[in-house]
Amino acid sequence: MSGVFGIRASGVLLHPTSLPGGPIGDLGPAAHQFVDWLADAGQAYWQILPLVAVDEGGSPYNGLSAVAGNPFLVSLDALVQDCLLEEGDVASELAGEPLHFGRVSRWKGERLRLAHRNLDEGANPGLAAELKVYRAANAGWLADYALFRAIRDAHQGALWTEWEPELRDREPAAMRRATRDLAEEIEFREFEQFLFDRQWGALRAYAHSRGVRVIGDIPIFVAHDSADVWAHRQLFELDHAGRPLVVAGVPPDYFSDTGQRWGNPLFRWDTAAERIYEWWAERFRRTLSWVDVVRVDHFRGFESYWEIPATEETAVHGRWRKGPGADLFKALHRQLGPIPIVAEDLGLITREVEALRAELDLPGMRVVQFGFDGVPANPHLPENYPRQSVVYTGTHDNDTLAGWWGKASKEERGEVWRRIGRRCADPHWLLVELVLGSLADLAIVPVQDVLGMGSEARMNTPGTTSANWTWRLGPDELTPDAGRRLRRATQRSGRLVRGAAVVGAA
């Protein structure tokens, strides 16, 4: 743990899409104001979900690319400052409405295209020169991504396995023809990525100046409908037409009789390991250009993963397959040096998974909501947290603390009261204080739990497909009073970090 954090600290979980203002949260003024709020509240970390480009479903865990940023997050206000848009261009009838990724995609896409045309027409020559340098510096991943998006758009969003065989299979003549015919759209997609990286880089630098570091997220699997799988078919278990032969998921358990069939294609660890390691190195290199610490989602899948035949409709009929284990992380270390990683080791965790995490000396995760089942040895009880861990009141997949409390059993509530020692009107806050006061080096609290919000503020409900990823902070909900309350609790728990004495600081 000392190699990752080395201090006792805390942070807040909030994905940028949930920031207030406009039809979707972005990297503009509200994001900078949130950084100020974090710093004033004594927080050393801002944890986010994956920053990748998403489809109209909005899930950052089902991205159109593992390395391209989400253009929905580009601040149009910043483009006004760049002389690429005018004030009247950024007003939106969608502001204040519930987040709808399809409508946001259409509305924001029109404005970004206008900004691109203005740049082409000479609105900001200096920025045009920066874009040219950016394209050259990022050509390795950017060319595949931009071409994938251009072809996908030309096919009205159809899955790449449904394209003409010569495009599906990336035949050289077809690729040259598509690159020529779709040049304008390719340039636009490159422009979007340039804007994202430029604005995110400025926001991250501002966070660093306020003593705040960013914890990002890498899902173990990637979406089938992605530039990664289309451009690197040889790394995945696919048939001759690019369709998955087997897919990812988890087996039946206490929570589901049929398990979870996620549908992601699986890596060919047994026949293409070295090439997969190279791909993962590029993925980490790109992610580390965005964040300071990486949470690796579904860490247990690197030890063993559940393989489901693609023809199966549920996860019942699958089998465990061995993952790459420590070999992948050793290969990453050889190429990139030490990487600050948090292992998401929730769910069905075996001794082998625990041994892998220990071998790699990575901190794992604990979630207080999972702790109160009456079992004294439950690893999610605050008194059982090891120092080398990152503890949460909840993650993006959990209900909020207040929502959980409203549904908690009498026995669970009794376990909480016994540890707190008294009853009160806002038990969610005492649970926050319980987590902050634990032995664990790092404690993370979703902003919903700081504010005591109910289930209506939940970010995601696993196993469902509607109303996820759309929650937004209201414009006046993140108050100075809430920040002062969090700062006092942070200070009492010995987690107040001054200056930039955190990961990555000079």
Q: What is the pTM of this model?
A: 0.95
Tens digit of each residue's pLDDT, the chain (506 residues): 334 677 899 999 999 999 998 899 999 999 999 999 999 999 999 999 999 999 989 999 999 999 999 999 999 999 999 999 999 999 887 777 789 999 999 999 999 999 999 999 999 999 999 999 999 999 999 999 999 999 999 999 999 999 999 999 999 999 999 999 999 999 999 999 999 999 999 999 999 999 999 999 999 999 999 999 999 999 999 999 999 999 999 999 877 889 999 999 999 999 999 999 999 999 999 999 999 999 999 999 999 999 999 999 999 999 999 999 999 999 999 999 999 999 999 988 999 999 999 999 999 999 999 999 999 999 999 999 999 999 999 999 999 999 999 999 999 999 999 888 777 778 899 999 999 999 999 999 999 999 999 999 999 998 888 889 999 999 999 999 999 999 999 999 999 987 544 443 33
> Quick one: tokens of 34?
């949130």
- The verdict on residue 333 lying in a domain is yes
- The verdict on residue 73 lying in a domain is no
Tell me the longest C-alpha to C-alpha distance in the chain. 73
- The verdict on residue 236 lying in a domain is yes
Specify the number of domains making up the chain: 1
The angle formed by the CA atoms of residues 12, 71 and 10, to the nearest 5 degrees, is 10
- The verdict on residue 18 lying in a domain is no
- The verdict on residue 255 lying in a domain is yes
State whether residue 338 is helix, strand or coil.
coil
228, 297, 303, 345: the active-site residue: 297
197, 344, 441, 449: the active-site residue: 344
- Per the annotation, the verdict on 344 as an active-site residue is yes
- Per the annotation, the verdict on 36 as an active-site residue is no
- Per the annotation, the verdict on 373 as an active-site residue is no
Residue 231: its pLDDT value, please?
A: 98
Q: For residue 345, give its domain range.
A: 232-363
- The verdict on residue 54 lying in a domain is no
What is the strand order of the sheet 341-343 is part of?
Answer: 341-343, 293-296, 213-218, 45-47, 9-13, 442-446, 389-392, 364-367
- The verdict on residue 5 lying in a domain is no
> Residue 80 and residue 104: Cα distance in Å, rounded?
19
CB of 77 within 8 A of CB of 109? no
Length of the chain equals: 506
Q: What is the DSSP track for 358-403? A: HHHT--EEEEGGG--SS-TT-TTSGGG--SSEEEES--TTSPPHHH
Q: What is the DSSP track for 243-294? A: -BSEEEEE--BTTBTT-EEEEEEPB-TTT-HHHHHHHHHHHHHHHHTT-SEE
- The verdict on residue 188 lying in a domain is no
153, 282, 327, 397: the active-site residue: 397
